Chains A and B, each alone.
Chain A
Amino acid sequence: MASKTEIARQFIEAIPHSRALGMQLTELSDGVAVIEMPYDSRLVGDPETGVIHGGAVSALMDTCCGAAVMSHPANPGGTATIDLRIDYMRAAKPGQRITARATCYHVTRSVAFVRATATDEDADNPVAAATGAFTVEGSR
Chain B
Amino acid sequence: MKSPRRPPEPVQVIKQRRDATLRALVDGVPYIQFLGIRFERRGDELTGILPFDQKLIGNPMLPAIHGGVTAAFLEVTAIITLSWTYLWEDVESGAIDASGLETDGLPRLPKTIDISTDYLRSGLPRDAYARARIIRSGRRYASVHVEAWQDNRDRLFAQATGHFLMPQPRD
Residues of A participating in the B interface, judged by any CB pair closer than 8 Å: 14-20, 41-48, 52-56, 58-63, 66, 78, 80-88, 91
Contact = CB atoms under 8 A, between A and B. Distances in A.
Contacts of B59: 15, 78, 80
What does DSSP make chain B's interface, helix, strand, loop or mixed?
mixed
Given A15-B58, A88-B111, A58 B75 contact: yes
A16 B56 contact: yes
A15 B60 contact: yes
A47 B68 contact: no
A16 B54 contact: yes
Given A16-B60, A53-B31, A62-B66, A88 B114 contact: yes
B69 interface: yes
The bracket for how many chain B residues form the interface is 35 or more
A15 B63 CA distance: 10
Interface of B: 28-35, 54-61, 66-69, 71-73, 75-76, 105, 109, 111-119, 122
Given A43-B31, A53-B31, A88-B111, A15 B66 contact: yes
Given A43-B31, A55-B75, A17 B112 contact: no
